Amino acid sequence: MILSGWTNGAEGGSMDGPAPGQGLAKVAFVDANDPDRLRYTWALLAVPVDGGRDYRGLVSPLSGMVWYQDKLLVTTREGDRDALYVYDMDRIQRATVESDAVGRVRGGWAAHGSRYVLPAVGSYTLPGGDDVPRPATVSLDRSTSPDSLVASEWVPADGDRRTRLWRYPLSRDPARPGLLDTDSSGHADPVEAYETKTADVRGVLAYRSGWYLDRAAGTPGGHGTLWRQDTEGARATECGTDETRHCWSGRSGSLSYWEETGEVWSQSGRVLFALPLASIDRALGRSTDQ
């Protein structure tokens, strides 16, 4: 099963997301057991209102998403509020009324034409302030103990500061499956935090000692760049014999590592694609085993 997030009106933009009411966020559940006969269905992402007696659609770009255990963690931006929303994969609801509306309607529940709906069960937010980080993309790292969630903020290419990266441990508490590790007050602290000169980061991936960042193309129709960084330095992939470093998707999306297959997955517009992490490391002139 492959999950792909999408928001109408937020594609290839500035990370500010669609205008209110323009783009509802939803997730495609893709049955990939038979690659020659892919099947999928949509689930609308929703936010509870009226004390949990109703829900509204989530109007936000889906720039980062992690499916871990029974939880789906999604980066969101609605207006000036950034959050990491939490969805419970055991609480997927079926819409009972075919309608463009979202939530409770006469005769049952509607999800703007989607067959299913996922109401959020919780969220993480950052403290306010002029220099508040804006985590824009996340991914899962199973090479740490415990497993961890890594995050990158989005800083525009013409920004006047560096991009920040974080690592948060995931909880080992059986009563808190799929959630971040927090203290008694529900506060989560990163165990690693870095700055990088790479700007316009659209995807982040950490594996062992390396951090992989993809950067969007600088011009329409151009190619993006994929970097590998660690505390010793940074290097971009090189393409073939022409030595150019613009060899990634121009419409870069978030990154995800499938440990069972050794593949890195990403999304470019409406296209999902994967390639071996070993081939990325070869393009960086290094071995995955290092």
DSSP string, 203-225: EEEEETTEEEEEE--SSTT--BE
**Cα dihedral: 55, 171, 80, 163 (round 10):** -150
Please state the separation of Cα 275 from the chain's center in Å.
18
Give the contacts of 225 (CB within 8 A, at least 6 positions apart).
214, 215, 236, 237, 245, 246, 247, 248
Tokens at residue 180, please? 């971040």
Strand 271-276's sheet: what is its strand order?
Answer: 256-258, 263-268, 271-276
pLDDT above 70 for 165: yes
Sign of the dihedral defined by the CA atoms of residues 268, 271, 272, 276, in that order: negative
DSSP string, 161-188: SPEEEEEEEBP--TTSTTSB---TTS--
Tokens at residue 15, please? 């990370």
CA–CA dist 220, 125 (Å, integer): 33
pLDDT tens per residue, range 66-121: 999 999 999 988 766 788 999 999 999 999 999 989 999 999 999 999 999 999 99
Please state the separation of Cα 160 from the chain's center in Å.
24
pTM over 0.85: yes
pLDDT above 70 for 241: no
Q: How far is CA 50 from CA 79, 92, 95, 103, in A?
A: 20, 19, 19, 11
Q: What pLDDT is stored for residue 21 in this prediction? A: 47
Percent of the chain with pLDDT over 70: 86
Name the DSSP class of 281.
H
pLDDT band with cut points at 50, 70 and 90 for residue 17: very low
pLDDT band with cut points at 50, 70 and 90 for residue 15: very low
